[in-house]
Structures are given as structure tokens and as C-alpha cells.
Chain A
């Protein structure tokens, strides 16, 4: 480490310019925008048109409710599944490991549009899923035209796309646990199941919390899935998320001020929920 201010700045400046122009300045600008009425010809200071409207807008309440619903149902299920997957994939007695890893990790590289198109077709009223349900002699479900079923499709799609991603992160955490911890427990006759609950899970806690935080930030800005799979948050606005609501206000109605207030609400929620999780997961003294 040496004091070489000029050299240091020379290396840092190119990145810093982009960072300031396209990240820091927009964050500040967004805050200012959220107090402006952008529906008038010249933008005037009028927070009642943005923050005031947000408090009473039923469409916002609906989007918030849908987003929190996904957060409360999808994120815990996915993280639990990812944890189990990581532990099973890490098992020394597993055969065909590469094949299993490919199956669960492949969705990580699939783009939003490709997988949204895929799920929209799978769950089409006359699609393969309903054909299979019919072949099994059960009543088919109008997946994309029933509000609850459409939400279920979004949750299924998200879980398919992100469970493996989280499993990769948890697997890295697993592999940093020293082997001899388990050896001692096995010698003492502790069952594998108990080892998982009393050794593995507590040691994985920081990594699982990281996954929760990443998932919270992602959920808060869900956009592509309801936009493409359920056709703009349909049926009606049953699957409209905060991210889609922001898109509709900002780039459908071009109401930038209102959309900025929504954006700041999304950010505040993401930070607050992440902090809450970190606080809940803190080490109890």
C-alpha cells in the first residue's frame, strides 16, 4: 500500500465517471423527480401529485400486495429448496453428479425472455401441462386466465429459474465448512438428519441470509415474468408487481415523477426488508 494519489485516480477515473453519471446522479435525480408533477408542460414542484397519490392509489396497493405475496411465499420455498438441493448435490455418495448439477444449474443461464416465452407456452390453456392433467383424468386449470393460478405460474417459473442459482451460492458456503466437524459428530453417533439441523444449517446461516437479501432485491423489482408470462400482469391486474407498476407509470403513461416515487418506495422496501432479515438473523449472544 503506498500513497500515490495521482496514479490511483488515473486508474479509478474511467469507472468513476460512469458510476457517477449513470448510477449516483440518477439516484439523486430520481429523488428530486419524485417531488415533481411531470404531467404538466413544465415540471413543477408538487409532491401531492406523486407521494400524495401513492398513498391513496389502489393500483399501488394492489402491486404492493402482489409483490409481498410473492416475497412471503416464493422466497422461503425457493431458499429451502435451494438449501436441500445444495446439500444433496454435495453428498459424497452421489452418482452422475455432473448430470444432476446441469439439471438444476442450467436455468441460471436462460434469459428472461426465453424462459418467460417457455412458461407461457407450457401453461397455455391448450398447452402441454393441461394436456398432461387431462391425460391423468383431472380437470384442467385455466392457468393464465385465473388470478390465483396465474400467480402460481409466476411463482413456479421464478422457483425454476432461481433455485439453482441460490443452490450454487449455498454450495460454495457448504464447501467452506471443515470436514472434521462432521467426522466428530458421526463418531458420536449423531444421525445425518440431526447433523444437518444442528451443524450445517447454523453454519450456513450467513450464506442463506445473503441469498435472502439477493432474492428480496430481485423480488422488489420483478418485471419480466408478469410482463411476458401473464401478459402485462394479467388477468386484470392480478399479477401486477411493483416493478411492472413502475414500468406502466413511467413508460406507459410517461409519468416520470410518479414513477420515481414508486422507484424510491421499491428501494426503501428492499433496503428495509434486507436490514430486517439481517437483524432477525443476527447472532444471538
Chain B
């Protein structure tokens, strides 16, 4: 038995010896993001290697705020992400419920179309979307343009449809026998049962909206209507700009999501791997 346990011990050492340096490399950029956000400008490009934080975070943040109105941009980002998440969850869960619980003419076509668009890159629609929203409707630089066009979330619909399909439909039928209206069955039986799925979906949608870059960059060009990623991105590459400030912005965009991730890791993982196990 001794040989078995020593082999076991060697395997354990090898596993940790392989993972530990990799994990350090992986954490390094995030750690440095935090370190740079606290360093004075002359410290970032000085000759010596500094791996520990200094005390310039708030000074750097003031530089960022004067380079671009970051507080206002963050407020817009929070508003947009909250409204987008709420609307998207409402639309996708209603559509998922419809596709899971009823038979109706045209259902096959709707499902096939939603499935068919899954492999299409978003870039196919971005130009006509831009023309439609900006030129035809003149809705660029509005909150509407940031919230509504990205709502077409096929994966969300399929995810909710699967969630509702796996529920015991006898429950819903029993309620129908009692004469409960369909929308009440959906609201008071279906949705509460779908709580874990709704949590996973909400988190992933919020994250997407919070980090979304291309569409907000295109459609809202007025500084007053920029989201936080667009405001931050507009500084990258400028010559007279504070890198310490940019890093405080990066930390402010990343830190809340990391906290959410640690607190709700299960839901994140569920949302990301939803399509994996079928």
C-alpha cells in the first residue's frame, strides 16, 4: 500500500506544480491593473519594476474624470445594463414560455429561424442596424439606441424554452382546470420555478451589456451619451492622457464584476455552460 500512497502523493505534487505557476501568470494582468491604478504617472514608466500598490488611486481617478466624464458615463452604463437586463429577461422568458408550452401554427418556422441565426456573427447586422437606427429613425445618441437594438437574444430564448420544457406540465394543467388565466400561470407558477435559470440569465445579460463596446461606440458619439467602456476606450491611444487614470477606469469597470463573480460563481458558470450539456 505504501507505493500506492507515495504515487498518489507524487501526482498531487505534480498537479499543483503545474497549476500554480500558470495561475500566477493568469492573475498577473489583473493584479497589475490594480497596481497601475494606484501608481503615479512617473512610476508606471520608471526604470524599476514595482509589483506592489502605491496610494495614488484617487488622484488617478480625478485625472480620469477630467479626461472624460467617467462618473456620468458609468451612470449611463448602469442605467442601460439594468434596463437591458430587465427587458431582455422579460422578452426571452415570455418567448421561451410560448415555445415550450403551446402548439401553434408557425412554431416550427420560428424555432428554426432562431436556431438558424445562432451561427451568424453579429457583424452581419451591425451596418443595417446602424443605418436604420441612426439614419432612418435619427435615434443615435439616445438611451433607446443603447437598450433596444441589442435585445434580440436567441440564446436566451432557447435557454428559457429548455427551462420551461423541463418543468412538470401537470402543474400548469392543474391550474388551467381551476380556471387560472394563462398569463397568471406564467407569472405565478412558471417564473418562480425558473428562478435559478432567471438568475443565471440575468447575470450573463448584465455582464454583456456592461462590457458591450462596439454598438455603443458606433451609435452614440456624443460625449454626454457615452457608456463607460466607450469613454475609457476613447482615451486609449491618445498622447496627452494619464495611463494611471485609464487603469483606474479599468479597475472600476472590472472590480464590481469580479465581486459579483465571486458572490454568484454558480450562476455565472451555469449561464456560460448552459449550451454545453445537451
Contact = CB atoms under 8 A, between A and B. Distances in A.
Interface of A: 1-5, 7-12, 14-16, 18-19, 22-27, 29-30, 33, 85, 88-89, 91, 93-95, 99-122, 124, 126-128, 131-132, 135, 160, 164-165, 168-173, 176, 192, 207, 210, 213, 217, 220-221, 223-224, 228, 231-232, 243, 246-247, 250-251, 256, 259-260, 263-264, 266-267, 270-271, 274
A105 B261 contact: yes
B151 to A, nearest CB: 5
Interface stretch (B55-63, B122-130, B193-201): B122-130
Identify the interface centre among A109, A170, A171: most chain B CB within 10 Å of its CB.
A109
Interface in B216-257: 218, 229-230, 232-233, 236-237, 243, 246-247, 249-251, 253-254, 257
Nearest to B218: A251
A25 B128 contact: yes
28 contacts: A3-B102, A3-B103, A4-B102, A4-B103, A7-B98, A7-B102, A18-B91, A23-B117, A23-B152, A24-B113, A99-B23, A110-B257, A111-B229, A114-B254, A117-B233, A117-B249, A118-B29, A127-B45, A128-B49, A217-B121, A220-B121, A221-B122, A223-B123, A256-B127, A263-B123, A266-B123, A267-B124, A270-B120
B2 interface: no
Majority-rule SS of A interface residues: helix
Contacts of A251: 130, 218
Contacts of A207: 276-277
Contact of B27 (A103, A120, A247): A103
B103 A171 contact: no
Contacts of A15: 91-92, 94-95, 151, 157
A121 B249 CA distance: 14
B128 A8 contact: no
Interface string B165-178: 00001000000000
B110 A12 contact: yes
Contact of B103 (A2, A11, A88): A2
B18 interface: yes
A103 B26 contact: yes
B126 A22 contact: no
A33 to B, nearest CB: 6
